[in-house]
Amino acid sequence: MKFNTIPFNKPYLTGEELQYMQQSIRSGKVSGDGLFTHKCHTFFEQKFGFQKSLLTTSCTSALEMAALLLDLQPGDEVIVPSYTFVSTPNAFMLRGAKIVFADSTAFNPNLDATSLEGLITPRTRAIVPVHYAGIACDMDAIRAVASRHGLTVVEDAAQAIDSYYKGRPLGSLGELAAFSFHETKNIIAGEGGMLAINAPRFVKRAEVIWEKGTNRSAFFRGEVDKYNWVDVGSSFLPSDILAAVLWAQLEQMETIQARRQAIWKRYEAGLEPLRQQGIGLPNIPAYATNNGHIFYVVCRSLKERTALISTLKQANITPAFHYLSLHRSPFYATRHDGRPLPWADHYTDCLLRLPLYYELSDSEQQRVIDVISQFYWSQQLPLVRHQARRVAAALPVAG
Ligand SMILES: *Cc1c(COP(=O)(O)O)cnc(C)c1O
Protein backbone atom coordinates (compact mmCIF):
# COMPACT_ATOMS: atom_id res chain seq x y z
CA MET A 1 0.00 0.00 0.00
CA LYS A 2 1.26 3.46 -0.91
CA PHE A 3 0.89 6.12 1.78
CA ASN A 4 0.97 9.87 1.34
CA THR A 5 4.11 11.62 2.47
CA ILE A 6 4.22 13.01 5.99
CA PRO A 7 6.56 16.01 5.98
CA PHE A 8 8.54 17.03 9.04
CA ASN A 9 6.87 20.43 9.25
CA LYS A 10 4.02 22.27 7.58
CA PRO A 11 3.62 25.96 8.44
CA TYR A 12 0.11 26.60 9.73
CA LEU A 13 -1.72 29.76 8.72
CA THR A 14 -4.90 30.74 10.51
CA GLY A 15 -6.60 32.36 7.50
CA GLU A 16 -6.64 35.90 8.86
CA GLU A 17 -3.10 36.73 7.72
CA LEU A 18 -4.05 38.14 4.30
CA GLN A 19 -6.79 40.33 5.71
CA TYR A 20 -4.45 41.86 8.28
CA MET A 21 -1.71 42.32 5.70
CA GLN A 22 -4.18 44.22 3.52
CA GLN A 23 -5.21 46.31 6.49
CA SER A 24 -1.56 47.13 7.14
CA ILE A 25 -1.00 48.09 3.49
CA ARG A 26 -4.12 50.29 3.47
CA SER A 27 -3.01 52.03 6.66
CA GLY A 28 -0.34 53.80 4.63
CA LYS A 29 2.47 52.81 7.01
CA VAL A 30 4.10 49.54 6.11
CA SER A 31 7.52 50.11 7.63
CA GLY A 32 8.32 49.00 11.16
CA ASP A 33 6.84 50.17 14.44
CA GLY A 34 3.32 50.49 13.01
CA LEU A 35 -0.18 49.49 14.06
CA PHE A 36 0.32 45.70 14.10
CA THR A 37 3.77 45.97 15.65
CA HIS A 38 2.17 47.85 18.55
CA LYS A 39 -0.61 45.27 18.87
CA CYS A 40 2.00 42.49 19.09
CA HIS A 41 4.14 44.38 21.62
CA THR A 42 1.13 44.99 23.86
CA PHE A 43 0.08 41.35 23.60
CA PHE A 44 3.47 40.09 24.77
CA GLU A 45 3.80 42.65 27.54
CA GLN A 46 0.32 41.92 28.90
CA LYS A 47 0.17 38.17 28.39
CA PHE A 48 3.69 37.28 29.52
CA GLY A 49 4.63 40.28 31.63
CA PHE A 50 7.74 41.22 29.65
CA GLN A 51 8.78 44.70 30.67
CA LYS A 52 9.28 45.66 27.03
CA SER A 53 8.94 43.79 23.75
CA LEU A 54 10.53 44.73 20.44
CA LEU A 55 9.73 42.78 17.30
CA THR A 56 12.78 41.95 15.20
CA THR A 57 13.38 40.43 11.80
CA SER A 58 14.48 37.15 13.44
CA CYS A 59 15.55 35.56 16.70
CA THR A 60 19.08 35.82 15.32
CA SER A 61 18.77 39.62 15.19
CA ALA A 62 17.17 39.70 18.67
CA LEU A 63 20.25 37.84 19.96
CA GLU A 64 22.48 40.31 18.13
CA MET A 65 20.63 43.17 19.84
CA ALA A 66 21.23 41.45 23.18
CA ALA A 67 24.95 41.19 22.40
CA LEU A 68 25.06 44.92 21.55
CA LEU A 69 23.24 45.78 24.78
CA LEU A 70 25.83 43.85 26.77
CA ASP A 71 28.58 46.12 25.40
CA LEU A 72 30.86 43.13 25.04
CA GLN A 73 34.57 43.83 24.65
CA PRO A 74 36.90 41.53 22.71
CA GLY A 75 37.92 38.71 25.02
CA ASP A 76 34.79 38.86 27.14
CA GLU A 77 33.34 35.40 27.64
CA VAL A 78 29.79 34.17 27.11
CA ILE A 79 28.60 30.72 28.19
CA VAL A 80 26.39 28.96 25.65
CA PRO A 81 25.32 25.32 25.32
CA SER A 82 27.09 23.42 22.55
CA TYR A 83 23.84 21.71 21.60
CA THR A 84 22.01 24.65 20.01
CA PHE A 85 21.45 26.56 16.80
CA VAL A 86 24.38 28.50 15.33
CA SER A 87 22.79 31.89 16.01
CA THR A 88 23.02 31.48 19.79
CA PRO A 89 26.83 31.80 19.95
CA ASN A 90 27.25 33.61 16.62
CA ALA A 91 25.51 36.77 17.89
CA PHE A 92 28.15 37.11 20.61
CA MET A 93 31.05 36.08 18.35
CA LEU A 94 30.13 39.04 16.12
CA ARG A 95 30.97 41.34 19.06
CA GLY A 96 34.35 39.69 19.54
CA ALA A 97 33.35 37.60 22.54
CA LYS A 98 34.89 34.24 23.32
CA ILE A 99 32.33 31.45 23.48
CA VAL A 100 32.64 28.97 26.33
CA PHE A 101 30.52 25.95 25.53
CA ALA A 102 28.57 24.12 28.24
CA ASP A 103 27.42 20.52 28.05
CA SER A 104 23.81 19.31 28.08
CA THR A 105 22.39 17.23 30.91
CA ALA A 106 21.86 13.46 30.74
CA PHE A 107 18.19 14.12 31.57
CA ASN A 108 17.43 16.34 28.57
CA PRO A 109 19.34 18.50 26.05
CA ASN A 110 19.20 21.68 28.17
CA LEU A 111 22.46 23.07 29.53
CA ASP A 112 23.84 21.54 32.70
CA ALA A 113 23.51 24.28 35.32
CA THR A 114 25.75 22.34 37.72
CA SER A 115 28.65 22.74 35.26
CA LEU A 116 28.43 26.55 35.18
CA GLU A 117 30.59 27.42 38.21
CA GLY A 118 33.51 25.58 36.66
CA LEU A 119 33.24 27.62 33.44
CA ILE A 120 33.31 31.08 34.99
CA THR A 121 36.41 33.30 34.78
CA PRO A 122 36.95 37.00 35.54
CA ARG A 123 36.05 37.70 31.87
CA THR A 124 32.65 35.95 31.96
CA ARG A 125 29.84 38.39 31.16
CA ALA A 126 26.74 36.38 30.33
CA ILE A 127 25.01 33.00 30.36
CA VAL A 128 22.70 32.09 27.48
CA PRO A 129 20.40 29.19 28.39
CA VAL A 130 18.45 27.68 25.49
CA HIS A 131 15.07 26.22 26.45
CA TYR A 132 15.31 23.23 24.16
CA ALA A 133 11.97 22.05 22.73
CA GLY A 134 10.32 24.80 24.78
CA ILE A 135 11.19 22.97 28.02
CA ALA A 136 12.64 25.29 30.66
CA CYS A 137 16.24 25.15 31.81
CA ASP A 138 16.90 25.07 35.55
CA MET A 139 16.48 28.84 35.87
CA ASP A 140 16.82 29.16 39.67
CA ALA A 141 20.20 27.44 39.51
CA ILE A 142 21.28 29.55 36.52
CA ARG A 143 20.07 32.80 38.11
CA ALA A 144 21.88 31.95 41.35
CA VAL A 145 25.21 31.53 39.52
CA ALA A 146 24.57 34.71 37.53
CA SER A 147 23.86 36.83 40.59
CA ARG A 148 26.85 35.37 42.48
CA HIS A 149 29.13 36.53 39.66
CA GLY A 150 27.28 39.60 38.40
CA LEU A 151 26.43 38.05 35.02
CA THR A 152 23.57 38.84 32.65
CA VAL A 153 21.21 36.03 31.64
CA VAL A 154 20.02 36.10 28.03
CA GLU A 155 17.38 33.43 27.40
CA ASP A 156 17.37 31.91 23.94
CA ALA A 157 13.61 31.39 24.03
CA ALA A 158 13.36 30.80 20.26
CA GLN A 159 11.34 27.62 20.86
CA ALA A 160 9.78 28.63 24.15
CA ILE A 161 6.71 30.75 23.48
CA ASP A 162 3.90 30.13 25.98
CA SER A 163 5.98 27.81 28.15
CA TYR A 164 6.66 28.22 31.85
CA TYR A 165 9.14 27.71 34.66
CA LYS A 166 7.50 27.35 38.08
CA GLY A 167 4.50 29.15 36.63
CA ARG A 168 6.53 32.06 35.26
CA PRO A 169 6.65 32.61 31.48
CA LEU A 170 9.89 31.74 29.72
CA GLY A 171 11.37 34.92 28.34
CA SER A 172 10.60 36.79 31.58
CA LEU A 173 13.40 35.17 33.61
CA GLY A 174 16.47 36.62 31.94
CA GLU A 175 17.38 40.29 31.78
CA LEU A 176 16.94 39.72 28.04
CA ALA A 177 15.24 37.01 26.00
CA ALA A 178 15.04 36.25 22.28
CA PHE A 179 12.07 34.59 20.54
CA SER A 180 11.67 33.28 16.99
CA PHE A 181 8.69 33.36 14.64
CA HIS A 182 10.44 31.41 11.89
CA GLU A 183 8.09 29.11 9.97
CA THR A 184 9.35 26.08 11.92
CA LYS A 185 8.24 27.49 15.28
CA ASN A 186 4.81 27.32 16.98
CA ILE A 187 3.78 30.90 16.16
CA ILE A 188 5.10 32.17 12.84
CA ALA A 189 5.57 35.22 10.66
CA GLY A 190 7.62 33.46 7.96
CA GLU A 191 10.75 35.05 9.37
CA GLY A 192 10.57 37.06 12.55
CA GLY A 193 11.63 37.38 16.13
CA MET A 194 11.38 39.44 19.26
CA LEU A 195 13.58 40.76 22.01
CA ALA A 196 12.01 40.80 25.47
CA ILE A 197 13.66 43.25 27.85
CA ASN A 198 13.09 42.63 31.56
CA ALA A 199 15.79 44.80 33.14
CA PRO A 200 14.96 48.53 33.30
CA ARG A 201 18.59 49.48 32.56
CA PHE A 202 18.31 48.05 29.04
CA VAL A 203 14.92 49.43 28.00
CA LYS A 204 15.82 52.83 26.59
CA ARG A 205 18.97 51.72 24.85
CA ALA A 206 17.26 48.69 23.31
CA GLU A 207 14.86 50.99 21.47
CA VAL A 208 17.78 53.05 20.13
CA ILE A 209 19.74 49.99 18.97
CA TRP A 210 16.53 48.72 17.31
CA GLU A 211 16.19 51.99 15.33
CA LYS A 212 19.69 52.15 13.76
CA GLY A 213 21.25 53.94 16.73
CA THR A 214 18.76 56.80 16.65
CA ASN A 215 16.14 58.04 19.11
CA ARG A 216 13.44 57.83 16.45
CA SER A 217 11.06 55.86 18.71
CA ALA A 218 11.15 58.66 21.29
CA PHE A 219 10.65 61.18 18.43
CA PHE A 220 7.54 59.30 17.20
CA ARG A 221 6.12 59.48 20.71
CA GLY A 222 6.76 63.24 20.75
CA GLU A 223 9.34 62.99 23.55
CA VAL A 224 12.03 64.80 21.54
CA ASP A 225 11.59 67.31 18.72
CA LYS A 226 14.20 65.83 16.35
CA TYR A 227 15.78 62.47 16.16
CA ASN A 228 19.50 62.04 16.05
CA TRP A 229 22.33 59.54 16.03
CA VAL A 230 22.76 58.75 19.72
CA ASP A 231 24.40 55.30 19.88
CA VAL A 232 25.34 52.30 17.75
CA GLY A 233 22.55 50.19 16.36
CA SER A 234 21.21 48.61 13.22
CA SER A 235 17.95 48.04 11.39
CA PHE A 236 16.28 45.37 13.48
CA LEU A 237 12.57 46.18 12.91
CA PRO A 238 10.38 44.03 10.70
CA SER A 239 7.89 45.61 8.32
CA ASP A 240 4.43 46.07 9.80
CA ILE A 241 3.16 43.71 7.07
CA LEU A 242 5.02 40.90 8.82
CA ALA A 243 3.72 42.05 12.19
CA ALA A 244 0.23 41.71 10.67
CA VAL A 245 0.95 38.05 9.92
CA LEU A 246 2.22 37.58 13.46
CA TRP A 247 -0.90 39.24 14.89
CA ALA A 248 -3.14 36.78 13.01
CA GLN A 249 -1.18 33.97 14.69
CA LEU A 250 -1.20 35.48 18.17
CA GLU A 251 -4.99 35.81 18.05
CA GLN A 252 -5.13 32.02 17.59
CA MET A 253 -2.32 31.16 19.97
CA GLU A 254 -4.44 29.12 22.37
CA THR A 255 -5.93 26.99 19.60
CA ILE A 256 -2.53 26.42 18.01
CA GLN A 257 -0.91 25.51 21.32
CA ALA A 258 -3.74 23.18 22.32
CA ARG A 259 -3.51 21.25 19.04
CA ARG A 260 0.29 20.95 19.20
CA GLN A 261 0.17 19.82 22.81
CA ALA A 262 -2.47 17.20 22.00
CA ILE A 263 -0.25 15.80 19.23
CA TRP A 264 2.74 15.85 21.59
CA LYS A 265 0.85 13.93 24.31
CA ARG A 266 -0.39 11.38 21.78
CA TYR A 267 3.19 10.68 20.70
CA GLU A 268 4.21 10.28 24.31
CA ALA A 269 1.38 7.87 25.09
CA GLY A 270 1.90 5.91 21.87
CA LEU A 271 5.64 5.50 22.28
CA GLU A 272 5.71 5.00 26.05
CA PRO A 273 5.65 1.17 25.74
CA LEU A 274 8.92 1.41 23.79
CA ARG A 275 10.82 2.78 26.77
CA GLN A 276 11.43 -0.82 27.84
CA GLN A 277 12.82 -1.46 24.35
CA GLY A 278 15.42 1.21 24.95
CA ILE A 279 13.94 4.29 23.28
CA GLY A 280 14.45 7.62 25.07
CA LEU A 281 11.50 10.03 25.29
CA PRO A 282 11.46 13.71 26.33
CA ASN A 283 12.00 14.28 30.05
CA ILE A 284 10.19 17.27 31.52
CA PRO A 285 11.30 18.43 34.97
CA ALA A 286 8.58 19.16 37.55
CA TYR A 287 9.37 22.88 37.30
CA ALA A 288 8.76 23.03 33.54
CA THR A 289 5.81 22.90 31.14
CA ASN A 290 5.67 21.56 27.62
CA ASN A 291 4.52 23.89 24.80
CA GLY A 292 4.29 21.18 22.14
CA HIS A 293 7.15 22.60 20.10
CA ILE A 294 9.25 19.49 19.40
CA PHE A 295 8.61 15.82 20.02
CA TYR A 296 11.86 13.90 19.98
CA VAL A 297 13.08 10.40 20.63
CA VAL A 298 16.60 9.50 21.73
CA CYS A 299 18.05 6.38 20.11
CA ARG A 300 20.75 4.30 21.78
CA SER A 301 23.35 4.93 19.07
CA LEU A 302 24.01 6.74 15.81
CA LYS A 303 23.65 3.38 14.07
CA GLU A 304 20.21 2.82 15.54
CA ARG A 305 19.11 6.36 14.62
CA THR A 306 20.36 5.94 11.03
CA ALA A 307 18.38 2.70 10.74
CA LEU A 308 15.26 4.31 12.23
CA ILE A 309 15.52 7.28 9.83
CA SER A 310 15.75 4.95 6.87
CA THR A 311 12.79 2.89 8.10
CA LEU A 312 10.69 6.05 8.49
CA LYS A 313 11.74 7.36 5.07
CA GLN A 314 10.75 4.07 3.46
CA ALA A 315 7.30 4.64 4.95
CA ASN A 316 7.21 8.18 3.43
CA ILE A 317 7.69 9.82 6.82
CA THR A 318 10.25 12.61 7.16
CA PRO A 319 11.93 12.85 10.56
CA ALA A 320 14.70 15.37 11.28
CA PHE A 321 17.75 15.29 13.48
CA HIS A 322 19.58 18.51 14.25
CA TYR A 323 22.27 20.41 16.06
CA LEU A 324 25.72 19.13 15.41
CA SER A 325 27.64 19.99 18.60
CA LEU A 326 29.00 23.47 17.96
CA HIS A 327 32.23 22.89 19.89
CA ARG A 328 33.11 20.39 17.14
CA SER A 329 31.90 22.53 14.21
CA PRO A 330 34.30 23.42 11.38
CA PHE A 331 34.24 27.04 12.56
CA TYR A 332 34.73 26.50 16.25
CA ALA A 333 36.66 23.21 16.68
CA THR A 334 40.05 24.95 16.59
CA ARG A 335 38.85 27.69 18.97
CA HIS A 336 37.31 25.35 21.55
CA ASP A 337 39.30 24.71 24.71
CA GLY A 338 39.27 20.96 24.19
CA ARG A 339 36.89 19.93 26.97
CA PRO A 340 34.83 16.93 25.92
CA LEU A 341 31.08 17.59 26.01
CA PRO A 342 29.73 14.05 25.84
CA TRP A 343 26.02 14.79 26.29
CA ALA A 344 26.00 17.38 23.52
CA ASP A 345 27.62 14.74 21.30
CA HIS A 346 25.12 12.14 22.48
CA TYR A 347 22.12 14.24 21.38
CA THR A 348 23.96 15.13 18.16
CA ASP A 349 24.16 11.41 17.31
CA CYS A 350 20.99 10.02 18.85
CA LEU A 351 18.18 12.58 18.96
CA LEU A 352 15.48 12.45 16.29
CA ARG A 353 12.53 14.85 15.91
CA LEU A 354 9.19 13.51 14.67
CA PRO A 355 6.69 15.30 12.41
CA LEU A 356 4.67 17.74 14.54
CA TYR A 357 2.46 20.38 12.96
CA TYR A 358 -1.06 21.68 13.41
CA GLU A 359 -2.52 19.82 10.46
CA LEU A 360 -0.98 16.42 11.23
CA SER A 361 -4.01 14.13 11.34
CA ASP A 362 -4.54 11.43 13.96
CA SER A 363 -4.25 8.68 11.34
CA GLU A 364 -1.01 10.12 9.98
CA GLN A 365 0.37 10.36 13.47
CA GLN A 366 -0.68 6.77 14.16
CA ARG A 367 1.34 5.71 11.12
CA VAL A 368 4.43 7.37 12.58
CA ILE A 369 3.86 5.67 15.94
CA ASP A 370 3.26 2.28 14.28
CA VAL A 371 6.38 2.44 12.13
CA ILE A 372 8.56 3.33 15.12
CA SER A 373 6.91 0.65 17.26
CA GLN A 374 7.47 -2.00 14.61
CA PHE A 375 11.08 -0.87 14.26
CA TYR A 376 11.78 -1.32 17.97
CA TRP A 377 9.83 -4.55 18.44
CA SER A 378 11.49 -6.21 15.45
CA GLN A 379 14.90 -5.09 16.68
CA GLN A 380 14.16 -6.80 19.94
CA LEU A 381 13.28 -10.15 18.35
CA PRO A 382 16.78 -11.50 17.66
CA LEU A 383 17.68 -10.71 21.25
CA VAL A 384 14.63 -12.55 22.56
CA ARG A 385 15.42 -15.57 20.38
CA HIS A 386 19.03 -15.49 21.49
CA GLN A 387 18.00 -15.33 25.14
CA ALA A 388 15.49 -18.13 24.60
CA ARG A 389 18.24 -20.36 23.17
CA ARG A 390 20.47 -19.61 26.17
CA VAL A 391 17.67 -20.43 28.57
CA ALA A 392 16.91 -23.63 26.69
CA ALA A 393 20.58 -24.62 26.74
CA ALA A 394 20.73 -24.12 30.49
CA LEU A 395 17.69 -26.30 31.15
CA PRO A 396 18.22 -29.94 32.12
CA VAL A 397 17.36 -32.24 29.23
CA ALA A 398 14.05 -33.90 29.87
CA GLY A 399 13.89 -37.66 30.27
C1 LIG B 1 15.07 28.83 15.51
C2 LIG B 1 16.14 29.11 16.50
C3 LIG B 1 16.97 30.24 16.40
C4 LIG B 1 16.97 31.15 15.22
O5 LIG B 1 15.75 31.75 14.98
P6 LIG B 1 15.60 32.70 13.67
O7 LIG B 1 14.31 33.41 13.95
O8 LIG B 1 15.52 31.79 12.50
O9 LIG B 1 16.75 33.61 13.64
C10 LIG B 1 17.87 30.48 17.41
N11 LIG B 1 17.98 29.66 18.47
C12 LIG B 1 17.23 28.56 18.60
C13 LIG B 1 17.37 27.68 19.80
C14 LIG B 1 16.28 28.23 17.61
O15 LIG B 1 15.53 27.13 17.73
Question: What is d(CA 19, CA 144) in angstroms, rounded to the nearest whole number?
Answer: 47
Fold of 254-381: Aspartate Aminotransferase, domain 1 (3.90.1150)
Q: Is 85 in the pocket of ligand 1 (CB under 6 A)?
A: yes
What's phi and psi for 5, nearest 5 deg? -80, 135
pLDDT tens track, the chain, 399 positions:
567 999 999 999 999 999 999 999 999 999 999 999 999 999 999 999 999 999 999 999 999 999 999 999 999 999 999 999 999 999 999 999 999 999 999 999 999 999 999 999 999 999 999 999 999 999 999 999 999 999 999 999 999 999 999 999 999 999 999 999 999 999 999 999 999 999 999 999 999 999 999 999 999 899 999 999 999 999 999 999 999 999 999 999 999 999 999 999 999 999 999 999 999 999 999 999 999 999 999 999 999 999 999 999 999 999 999 999 999 999 999 999 999 999 999 999 999 999 999 999 999 999 999 999 999 999 765 555 555 555 455 555 443
Which residue's CA lies nearest to atom 14 of ligand 1?
Answer: 158
Q: Report yes or no: 350 and 357 within 8 Å, Cβ to Cβ.
A: no
Question: What is d(CA 145, CA 301) in angstroms, rounded to the nearest whole number?
Answer: 34
For residue 273, the model assigns a pLDDT of 96
Q: Check: CATH 3.90.1300.10 for 17-252?
A: no
How are beta strands 77-81 and 296-298 bridged, if at all?
unpaired
Q: Which of 57, 58, 59 to mutate to test the pocket of ligand 1 (most atoms within 8 A of CB)?
A: 59
Taking CA atoms, 310 is separated from 210, 304, 305, 316, 344, in Å, by: 45, 10, 9, 10, 23
For residue 384, the model assigns a pLDDT of 53
Q: Is 58 in the pocket of ligand 1 (CB under 6 A)?
A: yes
Which residue's CA lies nearest to atom 6 of ligand 1?
Answer: 59
Work out the end-to-end distance of the chain between its first and last CA atoms, rounded to an integer number of angstroms. 50
Q: Which amino acid is at 283?
A: N
For residue 161, the model assigns a pLDDT of 98
CA 50 to ligand 1 centroid distance, Å: 19
Task: Tell me where in the chain the CATH 3.90.1150.10 domain(s) lie.
Answer: 254-381
Q: Is 156 in the pocket of ligand 1 (CB under 6 A)?
A: yes
CA 196 to ligand 1 centroid distance, Å: 15
For residue 3, the model assigns a pLDDT of 77
CA 378 to ligand 1 centroid distance, Å: 37
Q: Is 87 in the pocket of ligand 1 (CB under 6 A)?
A: yes
Q: Report yes or no: 352 and 309 within 8 Å, Cβ to Cβ.
A: yes
Question: What is d(CA 321, CA 371) in angstroms, rounded to the nearest whole number?
Answer: 17
pTM summary value = 0.94
Question: What is d(CA 388, CA 394) in angstroms, rounded to the nearest whole number?
Answer: 10
Looking from the CA of 129 toward its CB, the CA atoms found within 13 Å total 35
Taking CA atoms, 202 is separated from 2, 168, 174, 195, in Å, by: 56, 21, 12, 11
CA 52 to ligand 1 centroid distance, Å: 20
